[in-house]
Structure 1
Amino acid sequence: MKHVFIGALAMTGAMLAAGSTAYAEPAKPECLAGAKPGGGFDLTCRLAANALLTTKIISKPMAVTYMEGGVGAVAYNHIISKRASDKNMIAAASTGSALLIAQGKFGKYDESAVRWLGALGTDYGVLVVAADSPYKNLQELITAYKSSPADFAIAGGGAVGSQDWMKGSLLAKNAGQDPKQMRYVALEGGGAVLTALEGGHVKVGAGDAAEMSKHHVAGKVRILAVMAPERLPGDLKDVATAREQGVDIDWPVWRGYYVGKDVSDEDYKWWVDAFTKMAQTPEFAQEREARGLYAYTEVGEAFDKQVKIDVARFKTLAQEAGM
């Protein structure tokens, strides 16, 4: 394992009020990122670590520890088996974690093996074509795909069964085609997807809004649909959602956290209150936006319920896709 510390100076403030009782902040706050430095889990840990310190909710820097393996599976099992009652440690998670749990790829443990703490931001799935593609909207793409699915190679930054694969499968499903027959090209990240699109090697890319938006604005690719319940602000304000185009697809990519199953109710509440207070500050909004995330805050029991709803939904989608 590797670890680094976020922030150079300790700040004041040692307690966070929780109703009428003040629970002590964790003595050695730590965030576990289930991958190498630089990826989405790292981003998620650093978001919490920077914002908690900047807003003075914690008085000492939060360590970020890296434990790669199984796209978060090794870290998940570590929390359950070694740190189940450790109030100091939170772990990073994402929509992809829920998808992998739904497919049984986190081993013998399911979504009830930890306490889901909260989500502090989100991205959204997108479907993208090359700038010179003849398809101007999602319905045109669906119609073309339906008539000749073998002509459409769809690239994503992940293997079969990943989030990008699932986004492509939703296109196939809405075109009345079998997702298992989809010509999916598994690439290493969104950058490779963009290169494949620009080079004409694939006709469609599945990815995330934050990663693709600047290339859309630059005219290098065209985002046909955002998988969000409503239009996104900023650079993508003129891009219609899938729902607006008559296709009932949402794919939020939340960035969240969990703690061990045996963390006490009092310590769990401390973290819930900390996230709630932090999320209301302008400092946190700046940290979130700097990481290309959109506003989405869900904490405590509400988030725990949402994760379990997501896992159930992904199980259904995976079954429909033949996974």
Structure 2
Amino acid sequence: MKNWFSRAVLTAATTLALTANAFAFEPEATECIAPAAAGGGWDFTCRQVGKVLQDLKLIKGTMQVTNLAGGGGGVAYSEVVAKRNDSNDLIVAASSSTSTRLAQGAYPGNTADQVRWIASIGADYGIIAVAKGSPINTLPELMEKIKADPKSVSIAGGSAVGGWDHLKVLIAAKKAGVEDVRKIKYVAFDGGGEAVTQLLAGSVQAFTGDASEAKGFVDSGDIKVIAVLAPERMSGDFAQFPTAREQGIDAIGANWRGFYAPGGMNDEAYNYWVDAVGKVYESPEWKQIMEQSGLAPLDKRGPDFDAFVKESITEIQTISREIGLVK
């Protein structure tokens, strides 16, 4: 009996100690780096999440937002790895652009393993669309035309060759069984709006972009969305459009938004930030921001988010290698 009692006391004490350690970290001077100038997606991510963290009293005072532009996020990434590696109060905004550049070696000397991936806070899912008068009505129809004669189909997007808009359509084509995705004609424009304008002018046959940038053209009835690159149908205005998966093409194209932390951040701080960003994601305040900004659900945290990012990098590397962007 005495031994049993002693073991019970020891177990209780251990549990209390573990619980205390789990909440031992309390952030002080919190900071979020937005790896671009003010006004962009990374800046939005830092400022909006920082505000909700403050509103929910998960941090003390206001979170400092530092805009550190350059190299498509590479300047900030190198700064964190080389100079801020042991900071426990620092988080950095990231997105699919981050994983794309890591996959293509655009951050020289840096890899995904040098930081700790915290969590996602939503996603802007990709779409593939045609003009309202196009005879093409489904994604398989578009892919069959590409297979039959790749030169007959030009697809416009708002990113450079090898950028995320380009890669989204290549992911779909690869899943559809297009043998040589290098033959796909992708035409790069300076932003999704210009790409859609060229679609409506008849200069190209299809458009690849994000749901948020296409919403205005959907509302006006100028374009016909033939596939949403989401795991399941979206809500709201896009609920009427089928996913690629529904049409037998298992392609997901999520422009995710989330955070990474310095690689040397200790476990207590890392667990704190994973939990805190998770609480932001679950809050009514964030749900409202998601609805207002067109973000769709994507809830990945801690190890799950780490695996998600690295799987994305591997997929992008494979496709980038096929089109000659990565050796």
TM-score, normalising length: structure 2: 0.88
Structure having the higher Rg = 2
Aligned residue in 1 for 2:324: 322
Contact conserved, 2:156 with 2:195, CA < 8 A, in 1?
Answer: yes
Show structure 2 runs of 5+ residues with no match. 1-17
Aligned residue in 2 for 1:115: 116
Q: Which has the higher strand share?
A: 1
**Cα drift, residue 137 of structure 1:** 1.2
Q: Which has the higher helix share?
A: 2
Aligned residue in 1 for 2:61: 60
Show structure 1 runs of 5+ residues with no match. 1-17
Distance across 1 between alignment mates of 2:286 and 2:170: 35
Percent identity between matched residues is 39
Aligned residue in 1 for 2:210: 208
Aligned residue in 2 for 1:97: 98
Distance across 2 between alignment mates of 1:140 and 1:316: 25
Alignment RMSD: 1.8
Aligned residue in 1 for 2:52: 51
**Cα drift, residue 117 of structure 1:** 0.8
Comparing 285-294 with 117-126, which one deviates more in the overlay?
285-294
Contact conserved, 1:50 with 1:287, CA < 8 A, in 2?
Answer: no
Structure-to-structure mapping, 1:177-216, within 5 angstroms? 178-216=180-218
Distance across 2 between alignment mates of 1:20 and 1:291: 37
Aligned residue in 1 for 2:231: 229
SS in 2 for 1:20: helix
Cα shift readout 1:63-90 (whole Å, capped 9, x = no counterpart): 2211222211111111101111112221
Aligned residues: 306
Tell me whether 1:135 sits opposite 2:136 in the alignment. Answer: yes
Q: Which runs of 4+ in 1 moved over 6 A?
A: none
Comparing 247-256 with 275-284, which one deviates more in the overlay?
275-284
Contact conserved, 2:94 with 2:258, CA < 8 A, in 1?
Answer: yes
The one-letter amino acid of 1:225's match is A
TM-score, normalising length: structure 1: 0.89
Distance 1:279 1:170, change over 3 A: closer
Contact conserved, 1:43 with 1:291, CA < 8 A, in 2?
Answer: no
**Cα drift, residue 59 of structure 1:** 2.6
Distance across 1 between alignment mates of 2:158 and 2:289: 25
The one-letter amino acid of 2:235's match is P
The one-letter amino acid of 2:122's match is G
The one-letter amino acid of 2:20's match is S
**Cα drift, residue 175 of structure 1:** 6.0
SS in 2 for 1:298: coil
The one-letter amino acid of 2:46's match is C
Aligned residue in 2 for 1:20: 20
